[in-house]
Amino acid sequence: MQSLFIGLGAVVASALPWMLTNWFHLGAGAARHAIPFTVRLSFYIGAAVFLAAVLWTIFTTKEYPPEDMEAFQRMKEDKRSLSTNAAEILDSIAKMPKTMRQLAPVQILTWLGLFCMWLYFPVAVARNVFAAPDTTSPLYSAGVEWGGICFGLYSAVCFVFAFFLPSIARAIGRKHTHSLCLVAGGIGLISVAFIHNKYVLLLTMVGVGIAWASTLSMPYSVLAGSLPKEKTGVYMGIFNFFIVTPEIIASLFFGWVMNHLLGNNRLTAVVAGGCFMLIAALLMQGVLDPGEEKIKVEAKKDHKQLAATGI
């Protein structure tokens, strides 16, 4: 459901610059700025919608009281200090379950690949597919907007593929499912280097959409089966470190890498993102999924019981 709703909202958001230009003819003035007018306007609209969604939640959603109010009150009175909470988090990190440790590099590399795409794909489309000579060219604006259409397509694929993920995971296992999905995303990003037709470019986003749907669900599904129940909330929070860390790395160092190592070539950065995904897919094969092992053991027991009864 998470993949489904994120995909549905992202379809509209990604296609918004293109819609503003082609449906509402609001592209005037784009050539005067490095960032096209429709892209800037889309950010303003997105900010307004985001604020409205938060306010809607605040004013319409009721927070139900806990079942045991006395226990809840005791917990509030027994609030621990910030230093104690920090010590608990550090201790939990040190005692991280094996599955979580194995998933860490998978997540970091996956999200590095995604950030490479999000940061550089639209400009790579404008330069390499639309052949825009500079940022003031109408071709540049058209290319960036088409990049948004491509993002909208991978979000749509995410929306549709989310319905099939559970069945695939049951058939071949969760870690194999996630590996295959990451391979699809990696191949999709790497193939951008060989495509010069904007319509064929849309096909690359099918693989990315498959990888995105799996990234939003499979790692968490695998992780959940390995966590102690009393620490589930803490470890789920710590697991988000593996998303934030590559985001910080991308924000601080990708600019330097682009200028000094990649010759400011956005297409190379997108291809590098695909390589990160392929490495993550390979590492996923070494992840222990204890929840899946339990399912297999239970299935064997059920099979033996049925065989013993002659069914």
Q: Could you tell me the residue ranges of all domains in the chain?
A: 2-308
What distances in angstroms separate CA 82 from CA 73, 88, 95, 138, 241, one per listed residue?
A: 19, 10, 20, 53, 19
Please give the pLDDT value at position 296. Answer: 59
- Taking only the tens place, the pLDDT of each residue in 34-89 is 677 888 899 999 999 999 999 999 999 887 777 777 777 776 666 555 566 777 77
pLDDT at residue number 188: 95
**Rounded Cα–Cα distance for residues 116 and 211 (Å):** 14
**Residue 93's pLDDT is what?**
84
Residue 306 has pLDDT above 90, yes or no: no
pLDDT value for 28: 54
Domain 2-308 sits in CATH at 1.20.1250.20
Whole-angstrom distance, CA of residue 217 vs CA of residue 177: 11
User: What is the pLDDT, as a whole number, of residue 16?
Assistant: 87
Look at residue 291 and tell me whether its pLDDT is greater than 80.
Answer: no
pLDDT for the residue 83: 60
Angle (deg, nearest 10), helices 266-284 and 98-124: 160
Read off the pLDDT of residues 75-132 as tens digits, 9 standing for 90 and up.
666 655 556 677 777 888 888 899 999 999 999 999 999 999 998 999 999 988 898 8
Q: What percentage of the chain's residues is helix, strand, coil (to nearest 5)? A: 80, 0, 20
Q: What is the Cα 187 distance to its own chain's centre?
A: 16
Report helix, strand or coil for 79: coil
Answer for the pair 172, 292: CB distance below 8 angstroms, yes or no. Answer: no
Spatial distance between the Cα atoms of 275 and 263, rounded to a whole number of angstroms: 18
Residue 271: the pLDDT is 95
- Our CA dihedral for 211, 212, 213, 218, rounded to 10 degrees, sits at 70
Q: Does pLDDT of 185 surpass 60?
A: yes
Per-residue model confidence (pLDDT) at position 69: 77
Cα 60 from chain centroid (whole Å) = 28
Q: Nearest-CA neighbor of 3 among 144, 160, 201, 208?
A: 160
Q: What is the DSSP string of 30-68?
A: GGGSSS-HHHHHHHHHHHHHHHHHHHHHHHH---PPPS-
Instruction: Tell whether the model's pLDDT for residue 236 goes beyond 70.
Output: yes
Among 73, 44, 154, 107, smallest CA distance to 284 is for 107
The C-alpha atoms of residue 217 and residue 155 are separated, in whole angstroms, by 14
223 pLDDT higher than 80? yes
Q: Determine the pLDDT at residue 10.
A: 82
